[in-house]
Amino acid sequence: MENLVVKKLALELNIKEKQVENTINLINEGNTIPFIARYRKEVTGNLDDETLRNLNDRLNYLNNLEARKKEVIHLIEEQGKLTEELRKSINEANILTEVEDLYMPYKQKKRTRATIAKEKGLEELASIIIKQKKEEKSLEEIAKAYISDEKNVTSVEEAIAGACDIIAEDIAENAVYRKQIRRISYITGKIVSSAIKPDEKTTYDMYYNFSEEVNKIPSHRVLAINRGEKEGILKVKLEVDEERILGFLTNKIIRKESPYEEILIETIKDSYKRLIKPSIEREIRADKFEEASLKAIKVFGVNVKNLLMSAPLKGMTIMGFDPAYRTGCKIAVIDETGKLLDYTTIYPTEPQNDIEGSTKKLLELIEKYNINMISIGNGTASRESESFVASVIKQAKSKLKKDVYYTIVSEAGASVYSASKLATKEYPDINVSIRGAISIARRLQDPMAELVKIDPKSIGVGQYQHDVNQKKLSETLTGVVEDSVNSVGVDINTATPSLLSYVSGINASVSENIVKYREENGKFKSRKDILKVPKLGKTAFVQCAGFLKIPESDNILDNTMVHPESYDIAKKLLEKLGINLKDYSKDTLNEINRKLEGINVKEYAKELNIGELTLQDIVNELKKPGRDPRDELPKPILKSDVLKIEDLKEGMILNGTVRNVTAFGAFVDIGIKGDGLVHISELSDKYVRDPMEEVTVGDIVKVRVIGIDREKGKVKLSMKNTSIA
């Protein structure tokens, strides 16, 4: 079995069997995916974290499949009905559906028309009909023998009907027939939806009289139709080529010159319409939903990863601006380390419209704390707040001679964080609403550190996230956050428990212990100190040590993602180049980099008896100790003035930030009240199969305005022909 699983995974993932085998061994030894991806490249053949997670998911599926095969074989064997042919068919099944099809005739079931007919002793009559041998007697005469007061069979018609019920169920439970019917249904099937109340206007208007081929319908439409059905707005059914299916069954079941052709034709129709069709329809719709869910989950995962990996805005004092109407806009000022300096509430929006008092307060804060940047949440009253902030920035320039900029950030999940236990622990004496403004400021300063405090499902960059498999969604998003956090690394002396809990090998309990140890003993001075944390043993240390950075350490390697297991190699490499670890400083870095740049990795790897991939990683880390890979990404668009929908004209070329990517396109913030949509057909001059091949959340893109609906506040955008003449 194990060899079969290895072969299958290698084929599916288009990798070598040895890579699969080695990876499975690493997973079985308790290594985490981020650790394997980063520090076991030689063993896996440089598989990335996404491939490793796909391998792990498929491995779990195939293991479950094998376990179910064994269980089904055992259950059939217990009934004394297992044949070698059946055992072979079960063992050769590739998916769970095929296993369940083979098990169906042996499954204990509720009383059905067929089981009642069997209780009445009509199996023999059913056998006579299905064998279709020419008999001297007519079927009616044969059926008379089965009339029995004792078994409650009162007539010939009742006997024949009962026998046909048995045949119908046998047809419906035949694995070969079901497989072919499923195939025909997929090939010819259409998802058809209609309105329950056609005159009622809803967001599902386009699905009121809708049909699309099963094998062509995109995932977002499947999820939309399912939601409309769930909300009681749509009726949904699957239409297939029934004649083709009935023709297939007839050819398979009815023999040439069958004496019972007429009755079997009716039995086949009954079997299909009463038993097979509803079951196959449920299966296909469930399969399409599962397929659409996985696509939506993948989209959500990629969007979350790109949001987490957004470039941090370091070294700035930032004002967080949480917009609102009646309750006022909450303001929080944080310094360059994220520490809260000041907070207040102002009322520049309706109904108070206190523009004068609000302007005065903001200018005071800007001057007092030397604020460079204002981070505005994108929720209710965001655009009115943006207009107000733009006017304050103009006054700051003229009155204070100071350049201040603003940007809009997603505030999805800020209210969830504000009311959380973590927020209460961080700011026990601060009002819940002010905590939201702190979060909005910190999201600009360090998106990852702030967003990990929130359940990934609340980050708000998904599509139909409440409709999909919640367990799978949580597993995927947790994996995405883990991979993101570990690819950047974490400063152990400043990280919150939330951030630490996503580090390889560290759980929530240990992350709390790390912070507690830090509070009681002061900052960590070396990676060796990590072993002093309660409940963080040697196994966990191996998994986490390389991802935990210690800028305060005397050993420069502790502020890189070189794993402690490779310290000796790193030192030997530097010695060969005539470099001492203690020589590392900003002044010597250029000279050190020049020496590192000139090495032949292949030769040095052989000399040092280490893999080339691991040595290349060590060299890259030594070139930039303490580096943050996010620093190389585009920074958010900083603005000082506001754009209104009234200012837009078709043909305008603008810069925008991708806020969300879906299966049908991308939503781009161009600075007006609502995000504009770049439909999938407008993402590129070439055919685009998947929007994620072109754009990701956080991308800064150039777009052209191609349609404006001022009444609805909607804007259509295109990424084609965006060069300015």
* Per-run averaged pLDDT (10 residues), the chain, 725 residues: 81 95 95 96 95 94 92 94 93 91 88 93 95 90 91 93 96 95 96 94 92 92 94 96 97 93 96 96 94 89 88 91 94 92 95 95 96 91 90 93 90 86 88 92 92 84 77 90 94 93 95 94 95 95 96 93 95 90 81 88 93 94 89 80 80 86 88 86 89 85 90 89 66
Question: What CATH number was assigned to the domain covering residues 645-718?
Answer: 2.40.50.140
Exposed, middle or buried, 114 (CB in 10 Å: 0-12/13-18/19+)? buried
Supply the pTM of this predicted model. Answer: 0.81
Which residue is it, tokens 């020049």? 594
- Yes or no: say if 325 and 351 are a contact pair by the CB < 8 Å rule: yes
8 A C-beta contact, residue 159 and residue 146: yes
pLDDT for 589 equals: 85
CA gap 266, 185 in Å, rounded: 21
Task: Enter the DSSP assignment of 406.
Answer: E
CATH 3.20.20.80 fits 318-445, yes or no: no
Written as six digits, the tokens of 189 are 């099937």
Looking at residue 647, its pLDDT comes to 81
Tell me the two tokens of residue 160.
């024949």
Angle at 638 between CA 635 and CA 643, to 5 degrees: 135
Which token pair is 320? 């967080």
Nearest to 640 by CA among 466, 409, 405: 405
Please report the pLDDT score of residue 285 as a whole number.
95
How far apart CA 683 and CA 718 sit, in angstroms, is: 6
Helix (H) or strand (E) holding 409: strand 405-409
Domain 113-297 belongs to what topology? Tex N-terminal region-like (1.10.3500)
Q: d(Cα 544, Cα 549) in Å, to the nearest integer? A: 10
Q: What is the pLDDT of residues 370-418, one digit of tens each?
A: 998 999 998 888 888 988 999 999 999 999 999 999 998 888 888 888 9
Q: State both tokens at 455.
A: 């359940």
Task: Please name the residues in contact with 193: beta carbons below 8 A apart, sequence gap of 6 or more.
Answer: 207, 208, 210, 211, 225, 228, 229, 234, 235, 236
Ramachandran assignment for 218, one of left (phi > 0), alpha (psi -120 to 50 degrees), beta (any other): beta
| pLDDT attached to residue 162 | 95
Sequence-ordered list of residues with C-beta below 8 angstroms from that of 507, at least 6 positions apart, any chain: 501
In CATH terms, the fold of domain 2-106 is Arc Repressor Mutant, subunit A (1.10.10)
CB contact at 8 A, 447 and 375: no
Q: Give the pLDDT score at 463.
A: 67
Q: Do the first three CATH levels of 113-297 and 645-718 match, i.e. the same topology? A: no
| Contact (CB, 8 A) for 41 and 617 | yes
What pLDDT does residue 1 have?
Answer: 46
Q: Are 484 and 490 in contact (CB under 8 A)?
A: no
* 41: Cβ contacts below 8 Å, ≥ 6 apart: 47, 611, 613, 614, 617
Q: Which residue's entry shows tokens 């469930």?
A: 286
Are β-strands 373-377 and 405-409 bridged in parallel, bridged antiparallel, or unpaired? parallel
Backbone angles phi, psi at 404, to 5 degrees: -125, 145
CATH code of the domain occupying 508-632: 1.10.150.310
- Could you state, in order of their start, the residue ranges of all structural domains in the chain? 2-106, 113-297, 318-445, 508-632, 645-718
Q: Residue 135's pLDDT is what?
A: 84
Gap between the Cα atoms of 331 and 321, Å rounded: 5
